[in-house]
Amino acid sequence: MKIFPIAQSLLRISFNRFTHLPFQASFPTSTQNAFDPIATRLPFRTMATFQTSNKIEKPDLDDRDYKILNLENGLTALLISDSKTDKSAAALDVNVGSFSDYEHLPGLAHFCEHLLFMGTKKYPSENEYSSYLSNHGGHSNAYTAAEDTNYYFEVNHQYLEGALDRFSQFFISPLFDASCKDREIRAVDSENKKNLQSDLWRLYQLEKSLSNPVHPFHKFSTGNLETLEEIPKSQGIDVREELLKFYKDSYSANLMKLAIIGREDLETLEKWVIEKFKDVPNFGVSKPQFESAPYTQNEAKKLIKAKPVMSKNKLALSFIAPDHQKHWEVHTGHYFSHLIGHEGNGSLLAFLKTKSWANGLSAGGYSVSEGCGQFSIDIDLTEEGLKYYEDVLYATFQYLELLRVSLPQKWIYDELKDVSEMNFRFKQKSSPSGTVSKLAKDLQKTFIPDENVISRSVLRSYNPDLISEYGNALNVDNVRVTLISQNVKTDKQEKWYGTEYSVEDLSEELISKLRKPALNGDLHLPNPNDFIPTNFEVEKLEDVEPLKKPALLKSDDKIRAWYKKDDQFWVPKGYIQLLINLPITVATPVNNVLTNLFVDLLDDALIDTSYQAELAGLSFSLHQGKEGLVLEVAGYNEKAPVLLREVLKKLVSFKATEDRFNVFKEKYTRNLKNYGYKVPYSQISSVFANILNENTWEVEEKLSVLENITFEDLSNFTPLIFKQTFVETLIEGNFQPKEAHEIISVIEDNIKAEPLTKTQKVKSRSFWIPDNKAYRYEKDLPDEKNKNTCVQHFIQVGELKDRPLQCITELLAQLIKEPAFDTLRTKEQLGYIVFSGLLESRTTFGIRVIVQSERNSTYLESRIDNFFKQYHTTLKELSEEEFEKNKEALINRKLETLKNLGHENNRFLRAISNGFYDFLHNETETEILKKITKAEMLEFYENKILQNHSKLIINLHSKANEDHETVEGYPTGEVIEDVGELRSLFYLTPSAKPVEELTIENFKPKL
């Protein structure tokens, strides 16, 4: 598996601002298309021949027009005209990042990114930009990387020009208002503090701190209160003045790249870009250059030992490697990440698994700084592997030696080349904001010709000399080895995150051994990949209105099969999903844990097959669902049925081995223990589900039963899993009706269980909090050094079957999104993590606000409660125009055009899995929303939010929190001492019922 580093990216996680075809019920079995009258077969072009727009290469089915524009001030823009997009987007990348921080102000570039949002001369209100976007169905974000700062937004397509006007002013006349400075320094500090107990950030900073001290990679780049306020103040440094200087030193038009997507034609987009961005000043600044390297031989041949926060054992190898960015046609790093990260037969990971030394492995090459590359290999060790980490290290160098003597081999490169071309040719549209953000950054790679800016991921040129050069660099003289475990001995502490570590030279004996490793007969290169497709034929129908729901092909007491042939995206891909109803898997916490072990062990047993398929663009996944198991095969359709057959055969006949059971029990135990060490806000959803959803269990309960589970328990449980079942399947994409029937037969031939009766089937339900009652669940976080507390304030409003009530609640969520963020995050500075929105359980819904902060939970609860009270006034004073704008934004979101086949598939699968089978719910809800008035909203707010509400407050307490402020009247609600006992006081809401009877006749497409 290929990995990528954090790459010094500091993402603003705010969650607000930023951070079909005519056919009969009985299908024909011939290969003739049952649907057309007019059908065109799309064989697609031969490999390595791409269509272009203004000489820019683009995917085969990309109907967008492209143009690169160079403004007189030096700014470069990529214009993308997409006549079908519902959302427009723009991104601007400045080729300056944290590497350019002044030595005396670590985090200055990141601070600049934050403060840039806080008003401009033309639009001085600090939340003008975010309010405009929110009112028009949009959002924005930004991140600071090592050599880039990237800003981007998305908005309903009609409002692009207004958004561009506001956006462009950041780079023309930002205020950097002194009144915002202190607040945003605290926002940066809060962002940093949320990461202090994150192993990802801690170990990454350790890697940086131990790098060459002369290179800026060595620095602390996030910034905090100490670096941006306390130290500068003590030295008489005016941070705002330094910020203004940094902006003028760095934010020059000639270092900026802009990418924009809009419905407008290229001529209009060009006019807007020139008009809005021509006044961005060009200070004639040169791109920052760094003469030294992040890693030298002084940092090589080291053994670093580090203690993580979570329970984990890991061996990480980092090699000084060539930076082959400018040889972008070759992709040497990808060549080696493919081979070293391979998981199939003969791979390094497969060998380590036979020894019970490792659970996983990832590898990848990347550029740390221009001209300086790095290649990393990360190995997840078992407890046994930790004991023998030097043997694991030796096996790794044995595999590298195999590559050195075996490579380069053109057939391997050709496979990768074919797959890269295939993936580019059939690439579908994705999020507009994500697209422009990436493209703006890619434009900074000026060594890539303009025509290849979109297609740069394609492997084009086999160069054995470059491949050999890269492979030869992966040697012991260029390596740093990091052993990560809570059991290692350390004698130092990293300055910024407090990570305990030690550094020593690799022993001469070990170096000598690793320099000339013997070849290992159990290691060999992968076999040719039989899953790579060769048939990309798609039958495209002309002038067909896409169907809005799938057809029901078969329905009996064992299976319900849904099918939809792709009728609008025309890609050679498909999805096959199975929702397998298995009451035994969710009956008890013991069964839940046994099922989890079964799934992990089965996935492990299938790795040789599934990994090869994944490399060829065909994925397989199996996981526990709320009613049993969920199985998915997705990707290029030609060989999807082959993979499905292999998976199902293994699924129903699988028997685990005791040695792998022991490995995965250890891994599962560690994962459960680590759960409480995740960032607090990410734990809220699980706690919430455990309180309000049926057949769910707390992490602590699972851990308790897991401790006593034996291999014999799993062996006895496995044959019972598929004794009785009901399967619901969705088959969608480039499958003909005959193929869909064949897939159904594959499912039936393999899953030959007894049927479930109607009363035996698991039906998901949620508990209802009694009206006008408030409950409070409190839990101490196990991480004694994490100072962050998190509060979720949830008001339960109704049952999902009550569509009008759900719509008005969702509209309220749209209305409060920006005000909640602006009040609690920007003005009150409660914490970096603040977000709000509609929250659904299995059969109920409500509205929530989450805040993670160093303030105590009592204070946070009081401020959230105060926001809801104060918003009553805001709502009363809200103009009809603003109310209608927010309604329009929500309606537009519901009617948004599907971007790709996966987007449609997710929509259908959700309608099936939630039990309502309402494939047209967006249209239904749109009609309801159109009729909601401001007066009705005000009445709803007063009756359901301010009073008579059912409320659940979840407080995750930090043991290290030093804020002891009390607030009169808080905390509120009855404390939940025992979740099980509490549930006995609640009633279960009814399970979902289909909006119409599930018959083949009812779900036959209507022409």
Give the Cα separation of 877 and 889 in Å (integer).
20
Element housing 980 (H / E): helix 979-985
Phi-psi region of 875 (alpha: psi -120 to 50; beta: other; left: phi over 0): alpha
Write the DSSP assignment of 578-613 as a string of letters.
Answer: EEEE-HHHHSSHHHHHHHHHHHHHHHHHTHHHHHHH
| Of the candidates 57, 58, 76, 80, the residue with the CA atom closest to the CA atom of residue 67 | 80
| Residue type (1 letter), 685 | S
Element housing 560 (H / E): strand 559-565
Give the Cα separation of 470 and 340 in Å (integer).
13
E-strand ranges in 30-164 read 39-42, 51-53, 56-58, 65-70, 76-81, 87-94, 139-144, 149-156
What are the tokens at 930?
């159109």
Write the DSSP assignment of 884-906 as a string of letters.
Answer: HHHHHHHHHHHTPPP-SHHHHHH
What are the tokens at 507?
């022993």
Residues in contact with 36: Cβ distance below 8 Å, sequence separation at least 6, in sequence order: 21, 539, 541
DSSP category for residue 912:
H
What are the CA-CA distances from residue 854 to residues 10, 679, 860 (Å)?
20, 13, 10
Give the Cα separation of 118 and 180 in Å (integer).
7
| Residue 334 · residue 361 · CB < 8 Å | no
DSSP category for residue 254:
G
Angle between helix 589-605 and helix 640-653 axes, rounded to 10 deg: 130
Say whether 614 is catalytic.
no
Determine which one of 57, 72, 103, 113 is catalytic.
Answer: 113
Instruction: Give a three-class secondary structure readout of 684-702.
Output: HHHHHHHHHECCCCCHHHH
**Count of CB atoms situated within 10 Å of the CB of 649:** 13
| Of the candidates 146, 142, 148, the residue with the CA atom closest to the CA atom of residue 117 | 142
Judged by DSSP in three states, 99 sits in helix
Give the Cα separation of 473 and 373 in Å (integer).
10
DSSP category for residue 654:
-
| Residue type (1 letter), 757 | T
Write the DSSP assignment of 856-885 as a string of letters.
Answer: -HHHHHHHHHHHHHHHHHHHHH--HHHHHH
**Count of CB atoms situated within 10 Å of the CB of 167:** 27
Give the Cα separation of 791 and 681 in Å (integer).
8
Per the listing, tokens 């990348």 go with 93
Question: Torsions phi, psi of 929, nearest 5?
Answer: -60, -40
Phi-psi region of 486 (alpha: psi -120 to 50; beta: other; left: phi over 0): alpha
Angle between helix 803-820 and helix 921-931 axes, rounded to 10 deg: 70
Could you tell me what percentage of the chain is helix, strand and coil, using 3-state DSSP and rounding each to the nearest 5? 40, 20, 40
Compute CA 937 distance to the chain's CA centroid, rounded to the nearest angstrom: 34
Judged by DSSP in three states, 800 sits in coil
| Residue 426 · residue 573 · CB < 8 Å | yes
Judged by DSSP in three states, 209 sits in helix
Element housing 646 (H / E): helix 640-653
Write the DSSP assignment of 925-960 as a string of letters.
Answer: HHHHHHH--HHHHHHHIIIIISSS-EEEEEEEE-TT
| Residue type (1 letter), 827 | K
Residues identified as active-site: 113
